[in-house]
A and B are shown apart, each in its own frame.
Chain A
Amino acid sequence: MYIEIQDVSIDYKQKNTVQKVIEHVNFEVEKGEFICLLGPSGCGKSTLLNAMAGFLKPSEGKIVIDGQEVLKPSLSYVTIFQNYGLLPWKTVLKNVELGLETKKIPRKQRKEIALKYIDMVGLKDAVHKRPNQLSGGMQQRVAIARALAVDPEVIFMDEPFGALDAITRMKLQDDILEINQETGKTIIFVTHDIEEAVFLADRIVVLDANPGRIGGIVNIHLPKHRNRTSDSFVLARDKVYDLLKMKKEELIEYYI
């Protein structure tokens, strides 16, 4: 398998108490798959993502990407954050070029690559603007372009659209699906929005809270470019509600 999460547990040490955030999590991801990690706040989904991206080391178990254990962050798997993580003093172009310098790509080529991806996320007119001159949605597009520019194998997204308004969010969801299909990048996407997860994912990994464990894995067998109001979409969403135990046990009364 391309990504393997092997019996991973993550503890947080607070003074004298040790809090288990993630407990014995196992799952695997295929190359090019779109996986959503879904769960309530505090279930450790972001923590798990941070471990997968190499920002923190699991207390137990290990994470393997493409046959290599993840020990530190790398240009081959880039993370996109909820609050964008752009450098406010750099222009859009320079922000997107950020990772290319590390890859030792010559200056001229850096600009070409950056412009290509800025164009891809539809920000051609904002190349020389600074992040604070852009809306939240546009800033997140810059972050996406910056991630794509280094041509990573995996893109981790940590509630990337959480700070955006509903309409912008839906537009960006469409865009990220398109990017997933066009570029074939593996995407691991953390969210607490059930509808978002059903709309985007090939598979949804549902996490329970306290401690974070896998509650279930839902395969979404729907065509890409899903219709948010179709019956099959609602049915899939229903299944996830079920898994999260959010459905009321209804007592049905019949009137005939």
Chain B
Amino acid sequence: MKQKKIDIVISLGLLVIIWQIVSVVLEKNTVVFPAPIQVVRAFEELFCVGLKGSTSSVTLPGHIGISLVRFAIGYLTAAVTGVFFGLILGSFPKAFAIVNPAVQVIRPIAPVAFMPFIVLWFGIGDVPAVVIIFIAGFFPILLSTVSAVEHLNPIYYKVSRNFGIGKVKTIFCIVFPAIFTQIANALRLALGTSWIFLVSGEMVGAQSGLGFLIMDSKNCIRYDALLATMITIGVIGFALDALIRVLEHVIGHKFGFVN
């Protein structure tokens, strides 16, 4: 565990050093290629007073908070509905055979492509970002759950039938815990993709949040603030992944889902 932390520090430290060297060697216009120290100053500005010259006066913690709430709503809805319908469709292969082709056609469409319609129907604000996050998370969770149900050892069904456990109870009390590991994996992968799409969702459809801050910094020609926002997005994504790993571990062991 300690070694892991040291590795993280070394990795990120190296990244900053390379960045510093490149900015010195290139001797580019520091507006176009900000050095680390400029980004640190931009951080300070964003954190204390918000982006100068922006239409919005929200500070960085404010934007983070807004983004996280949108993310939580979109992602949790995707997780609950994805797992629920995944369990149902996995348990009824004939229904899935009908649904699957439609899903396979919708799935390759980048969630952002839905944006014009979403904005048209729901207007600008929280909804577009939430919907984009939902779309980004829902399909991978759904399909992984279905696949896990399909590959479940048939012995669970035999035991369940033998001991007279009803169909609904079998799905939620036998199948769900039996595929918990696969579901947790799918949820973690979807968490990453959803977070990535949060930014796209907010870049177009919102007047606040980290995605908006990216666009705002670009419009104000503040590439140092832009980089600072990008770093914030990366760090939060990293933290969310660590958080879900811990959750997975705790829940998995508490309920004995993980061997």
Contacts and interface: CB of A to CB of B under 8 A. Distances in A.
Interface residues of A, number: 24
Given A99-B164, A102-B165, A88 B158 contact: no
A255 interface: no
Question: By DSSP majority rule, is chain B's interface helix, strand, loop, or mixed?
Answer: helix
Nearest to A84: B155
A132 B165 contact: no
Contact of A102 (B164, B178, B255, B257): B164
B158 A89 contact: no
A98 B162 CA distance: 10
B191 to A, nearest CB: 23
Contact of B163 (A72, A75, A90, A130): A75
A55 interface: yes
A89 B230 CA distance: 41
Interface string B157-199: 0110111110000000010011010000000000000000000
Interface centre among B159, B161, B174, B257 (most CB of A within 10 A): B159
A127 to B, nearest CB: 14
Interface string B130-166: 0000000000000000000000000110110111110
A89 B256 contact: yes
Nearest to A130: B256
A87 B155 contact: no
A101 B162 CA distance: 13
A85 B158 contact: yes
B259 interface: yes
A90 B209 CA distance: 43
Contact of A85 (B156, B177, B259): B156
A87 B164 contact: no
A87 B256 CA distance: 10
Interface of A: 53, 55, 72-75, 78-79, 81, 83, 85, 87-91, 98-99, 101-103, 130, 132, 150
